[in-house]
Structure formats: structure tokens, C-alpha cells
Amino acid sequence: MERVLDKNFNVLTMIFASALIVLVIDVQILTNPSIYAAPINAKTIKFSGPINSLQFSDDDASWIVSGRWRMEMLSDSAGMTPLQIKSFNASLIMTPTDGSKYERYELSDFKQDAISFDNKSNTATINGKLQISSKTPIETTEAVLKLTNKKIFAISLDQSKIKDKLGATPVYGIER
């Protein structure tokens, strides 16, 4: 008899645990469904282009930055309002204005924290974190991506982590 009660208790415990798990998952989906599914009528837009930018120090150009960038963005069905960055990466080459040396950087693995769109300036602003790699080990840093009129691209990186590497001003590019 005791063995039957133990077996029934174990079965009831498993049923209760399963029901609790289903309830937690259900509440998560109901309170934040956008993280589990793409919006209906959303479409993916791909952007890419060259980077040609100057980095300034004390009002003088100190570094020339060139390279390529690529971004895949989930947008509303009209392609006007950005909803989510699916991927972003950039390859950069930096050289001082005297051309004495150069450094290569890869920006990748962008994780979006927030996104906004200003209808007046037609600018998408995307806050998040990304990986920076070069000869030195990979670092994670905060980043702000801006896309204006779907043509002008700018990236600003957390100065407390990268000032010695990528300069203090945003890096600009264009969409082609």
C-alpha cells in the first residue's frame, strides 16, 4: 500500500511540475509575444556599402577609416519603420593621416537592446552591443547604429572601451 502511495505521489508531482512549466511559458508568451515571433507583414531589408570617414582629435584629422558594412533589418511591410536588426557586421581599416601604419578591425555579433525611428529626420537609431576584434582579443562594447534616409550610416562606439583604437567620433558610411 505504501509503495502505491509513493508511486501516486511521484505521478502527481510530475503532473504538477509539468503544469507549472506550461503556465510559466504561457505567461511569458502572453506578456511579451514579440520576442517569440516575427510581426505579421514584416519584411527583411538588406543594406550595405562603403565606409569612408575621418576620425578627429583636437580639431585635426588624425585617422582615416575605410571599409565595408552590412546590415539586415526587419521592417514594417512598407519598409519604412525598422523593427529589429537581424545582423550587422563591418570590416574597417584605419591608418593615421601620414599613412605610417594601419590596423584592421572587425565589428560583428550585434545584439540589439532598443530601436527607435524619428519620422521627422527619417533616422533609425539602434542601441546595442557588438564584438570588436583585431590583433588584440575580442571585446564587447556598446554601440549606436544610425541609418538616415536609408542612405547615410553612422556607428558610434563606447568611448570608454575603444577610444585608443577607433577614435572619438562616429564612423560614417553610405548605403549602395
The fraction of the chain above a pLDDT of 90, given in percent, is: 46
pLDDT at 8: 59
Mark whether 151 and 68 lie in a shared domain: yes
pLDDT at 144: 95
Give 65-74 pLDDT, tens digit per residue. Answer: 999 999 999 9
Half-sphere exposure of 45 (CA within 13 A, CB side): 20
Give 83-133 pLDDT, tens digit per residue. Answer: 899 999 999 999 988 999 999 999 999 999 999 999 999 999 999 999 998
Prediction pTM value = 0.72
Instruction: Categorize the per-residue pLDDT at 13 as very low, low, confident or very high, splitting at 50, 70 and 90.
Output: low
Mark whether 31 and 48 lie in a shared domain: no
Which ranges of the chain would DSSP assign to H, the alpha helix? 2-31, 159-166
Mark whether 7 and 29 lie in a shared domain: yes
Mark whether 17 and 83 lie in a shared domain: no
Mark whether 74 and 117 lie in a shared domain: yes
Domain span at residue 169? 43-174
pLDDT at 69: 96
Distances (CA, A) of 37 to 29, 74, 102: 10, 12, 43
Mark whether 22 and 58 lie in a shared domain: no
